């Protein structure tokens, strides 16, 4: 892998789901959950995937990890193909098992992924054994080390998931992922279910681990306030598409897509007394099973014009590393967010 190869490369990733349209009708529609997204993440960096609930960001995270099978596109990790619909590559069985060691996930609700009958020591050691990193006593020893690294003392090793608080359980979830020494972790809303007081502790832990183990994160969140402090670059998703991607600084200070601007106009700022343009989105969020023609955002966009209703905008470069899908970004670009990075 050359020094300039991104750790993760996602190209035109697509995941559709067929759905029935009524209890009695035999009609079928397609939910375009992920509709051709592309981005890269450099080693040791964090890419934030943001958008409203139902925009497809969690499905994207799972499709990248092959936890749900993508329909089209390509995913590579450290220059090695994990999935490629053009060449027909789909890792399965032992090959997928090996690849999965390098690509882990932290869930929003770690409790759901922990076996209530297993102590947390066993839960972490189980993954270590499955991936043959160590066996028996060695696996337990390694599990203890990783749990300690994540802030869970060895005295808790034999305790069960229900004996821990939400924040502690998330530490266990992180330890389970970390124990396999992955290069890449998808963190799917990892702090959304936690008390505000605990959220910062978990983010600090993730930052420390990133430093210590050179981890690369895909951080999925609906909360731009969190993404602002945690991510190096950001992609904004709307109805299965990435509408704008760029560095944290460019996205927060100079967003050009009307949807990004609307989301940012609602983020609290340091000087709330300064006048800001608050953009209130009107109109219903369209169903992902019945996407509008043209730009998918046109039913709610305050700048929508004739072309927006008929033609899907292609991706254009605003500046290096800053891309947008909007017909009118040159006219809408001058928007003050009141946020300084
Ligand atoms: Fe709005 Fe048109 Fe741009 Fe879509 S393409 S975001 S409708 S201005």
What stretches of 6-155 show up as alpha helix (H) in DSSP? 57-64, 93-102, 110-113, 120-130, 136-149
- Give distance in angstroms: CA of 51 to centre of ligand 1: 16
Distances (CA, A) of 25 to 16, 17, 274, 288, 291: 21, 18, 54, 19, 20
Residue with more model confidence, 339 or 155: 155
- Give distance in angstroms: CA of 297 to centre of ligand 1: 6
Long-range contacts of the stretch 131-136 (C-beta < 8 A, 24+): 131/97, 131/101, 131/180, 133/179, 133/180, 133/181
pLDDT in tens, 291-331: 999 999 999 999 999 999 999 999 999 999 999 999 999 99
Bridge partners of 15, per DSSP, are 34
- Give distance in angstroms: CA of 230 to centre of ligand 1: 28
Q: What pTM was estimated for this model as a whole?
A: 0.94
- CATH of 8-231, picked from 1.10.8.60, 3.40.50.300, 1.10.10.10, 3.40.50.1400, is 3.40.50.300
Q: What is the pLDDT of residue 276?
A: 72
- Give distance in angstroms: CA of 86 to centre of ligand 1: 31
- Give distance in angstroms: CA of 241 to centre of ligand 1: 13
Ligand 1-lining residues (CB < 6 angstroms): 257-258, 295, 297-298, 301, 303-304, 308, 313, 326-328
* Closest ligand 1 atom to 298 CA: 7
* Closest ligand 1 atom to 307 CA: 2
pLDDT in tens, 116-155: 999 999 999 999 999 999 999 999 999 999 999 999 999 9
Whose C-alpha lies nearest to ligand 1, atom 3?
326
DSSP 100: H
Give backbone dihedrals phi and psi of 332, rounded to 5 degrees, phi first. Answer: -95, -5
Burial class (CB in 10 A: 0-12, 13-18, 19+), 96: middle
* Closest ligand 1 atom to 257 CA: 6
Given ligand 1 and candidates 323, 327, 334, which is best to mutate, with the most ligand atoms within 8 Å of its CB? 327
Rounded Cα distance, 48 and 226, in Å: 10
With vertex at residue 98, the alpha carbon angle to CA 64 and CA 183, rounded to the nearest 5 degrees, is 60
DSSP 334: -
**Structural domain boundaries in the chain:** 8-231, 255-341
- Give distance in angstroms: CA of 21 to centre of ligand 1: 29
By three-state DSSP, how is residue 227 classified? helix
Q: What is the pLDDT of residue 23?
A: 64
pLDDT in tens, 31-59: 999 999 999 999 999 999 999 999 999 99
- The pairing of strands 80-84 and 241-247 is unpaired
- Give distance in angstroms: CA of 239 to centre of ligand 1: 14
């Amino acid at each position: 892998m050359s020094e300039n190869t991104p750790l993760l490369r996602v190209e035109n990733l697509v995941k559709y789901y067929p759905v029935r349209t009524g209890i009695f009708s035999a009609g079928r529609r397609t939910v375009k959950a992920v509709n051709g997204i592309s981005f890269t993440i450099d080693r040791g960096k964090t890419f934030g995937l943001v958008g409203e609930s139902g925009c497809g960001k969690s499905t994207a995270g799972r499709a990248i990890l092959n936890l749900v099978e993508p329909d089209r596109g390509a995913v590579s990790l450290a220059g090695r193909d994990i999935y490629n619909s053009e060449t027909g590559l789909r890792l399965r069985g032992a090959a997928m098992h090996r690849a999965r060691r390098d690509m882990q996930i932290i869930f929003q609700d770690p409790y759901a992924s922990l076996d209530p009958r297993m102590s947390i020591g066993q839960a972490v050691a189980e993954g270590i054994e499955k991936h043959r990193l160590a066996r028996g006593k060695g696996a337990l020893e390694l599990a203890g080390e990783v749990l300690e690294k994540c802030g869970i003392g060895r005295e808790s090793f034999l305790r069960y998931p229900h004996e821990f608080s939400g924040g502690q359980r998330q530490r266990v979830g992180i330890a389970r992922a970390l124990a396999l020494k992955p290069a890449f972790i998808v963190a799917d809303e990892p702090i959304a279910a936690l008390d505000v007081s605990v959220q910062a502790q978990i983010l600090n832990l993730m930052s420390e681990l990133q430093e210590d183990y050179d981890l690369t994160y895909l951080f999925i969140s609906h909360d731009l306030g969190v993404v602002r402090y945690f991510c190096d670059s950001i992609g904004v998703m709307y109805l299965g598409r990435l509408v704008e991607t760029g560095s944290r600084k460019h996205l927060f200070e100079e967003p050009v897509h009307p949807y990004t601007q609307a989301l940012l106009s609602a983020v609290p700022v340091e000087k709330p007394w300064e006048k800001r343009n608050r953009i209130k989105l009107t109109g219903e969020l369209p169903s992902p099973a019945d996407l509008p023609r043209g730009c998918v955002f046109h039913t709610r966009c305050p700048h929508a014009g004739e072309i927006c209703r008929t033609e899907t905008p292609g991706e254009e470069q605003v500046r290096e590393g800053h891309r947008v899908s909007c017909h009118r970004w040159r006219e809408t670009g001058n928007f003050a967010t009141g946020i300084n990075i």
